[in-house]
Structure 1
Amino acid sequence: MEENTNRCLKCGAVLNEKTGSCLNCGNTCPDCGAIISENTGTCPNCGDGTGEQISTIKYQKNSVLAAFLSFFFPGLGQVYNGDRLKGFGILTLTTITLLSNLFIFSIIGAFVVLYAIFDSYTTAEKINSAKIPFKKSSFVNYALFFVLFIILCIVIGITRVWFVKQSYIYGY
């Protein structure tokens, strides 16, 4: 007697009875066998929805790389994780505090760098465990990050030169 099981039309593997998805090649529609859209959770051919979004394709973020990026360029790990605004904010705050002449600001800047490293690592781990949604990072975000970094360095460099010039002129 032949067993009544649904098989994947793409690879021939037995489909999961509960979800209708193929564990070998991805999500497949239980009605027509087409790959179910990862974004919508519906079949592009027949429109059948599974009632929930099923994703066997799992995007990963490298948490060590995120921490490494934040160590060398605070905020870049956040941009890598897809959180552009947080990354730009950390970059701005770190650049201003670390390049200032006041010792207290340098200490604050060091704590911001440590926070950036910790946050980028833990955010990547949360993305990998599906606690927060995956966000793609784009080349544009990386380019904007480095443009902001260069602008901040120029502005702070000009400001420091001006302060040195003023202290030389006025003797303080």
Structure 2
Amino acid sequence: MFCPNCGRQIPDGSKFCPYCGAKLSLAGEPEESQVQTVLSEEERKKRAYEEELLRAKAQQAARVGIKSPGVAAVLSFFFTGLGQIYNGQVGKAILFIILGTISIGLMFIGIGFILYPIIWIIGIVDAYNTAKNANDALLRP
């Protein structure tokens, strides 16, 4: 085997020329620059995909709108189920309104005084967490 840089004969399988120090590539082994080109191409494709995914999520967030967890909680504070309507969960809002109405009716028996605050607090926490989780899902890469 001969060094392509200085032309001297060197032992077969050498990775460097002992005379000039040039790096040698073995037959069939890709040079480092070729490996870096392949890796950089794969990395470029991966980054392009991630950027496209982030762009799509941003467009979805713009269409749906990012919900404020604080606004959702305050709305549920003033009226049970209003925060769920704000979050776009009408079915869940109707359930909270029905449960709140039933528990207000049960105040004549006495159990409503315990039941209504529980439903009210659950509604506030649910509205807050739903808005927060929806935002996190939209903005997560």
Q: What TM-score results when the alignment is normalised by the length of structure 2?
A: 0.54
Counterpart in the other structure of 1:89: 95
Distance 1:74 1:19, change over 3 A: same
Displacement after TM superposition at 1:20 (Å): 8.7
Distance 1:20 1:115, change over 3 A: closer
Structure 2 residue runs of 5 or longer lacking an equivalent are 1-45
Distance 1:20 1:116, change over 3 A: closer
Identity %: 32
Tell me which of 121, 127, 135 is aligned to 1:128: 135
Cα distance between partner residues in 1 of 2:49 and 2:119: 45
Across the two proteins, how many residue pairs are aligned to each other? 87
Counterpart in the other structure of 1:56: 58
**Contact persistence 1:99–1:106 (CA under 8 A):** no
Structure 1 residue runs of 5 or longer lacking an equivalent are 1-15, 28-53, 132-172
Cα distance between partner residues in 1 of 2:86 and 2:99: 18
Displacement after TM superposition at 1:110 (Å): 1.0
Tell me which of 67, 72, 76 is aligned to 1:70: 76
Cα distance between partner residues in 2 of 1:112 and 1:17: 46
Counterpart in the other structure of 2:49: 19
Displacement after TM superposition at 1:96 (Å): 1.6
Aligned-pair RMSD on alpha carbons?
Answer: 2.4
What CA deviation, in whole Å up to 9, does each residue of 1:49-75 have, x standing for no partner?
xxxxx3223231011110111111101
Displacement after TM superposition at 1:122 (Å): 0.5
Displacement after TM superposition at 1:99 (Å): 3.4
Residues 137-152 of structure 1 correspond to what in structure 2 (within 5 A)?
Answer: none
Cα distance between partner residues in 1 of 2:119 and 2:50: 47
Cα distance between partner residues in 1 of 2:98 and 2:110: 18
- Where in structure 1 do 4 or more consecutive aligned residues deviate above 6 Å? none
1:106 partnered with 2:136: no
Distance 1:97 1:17, change over 3 A: closer
The residue identity in structure 2 corresponding to 1:118 is V
More helix by share: 2
**Bigger Rg, which one:** 2
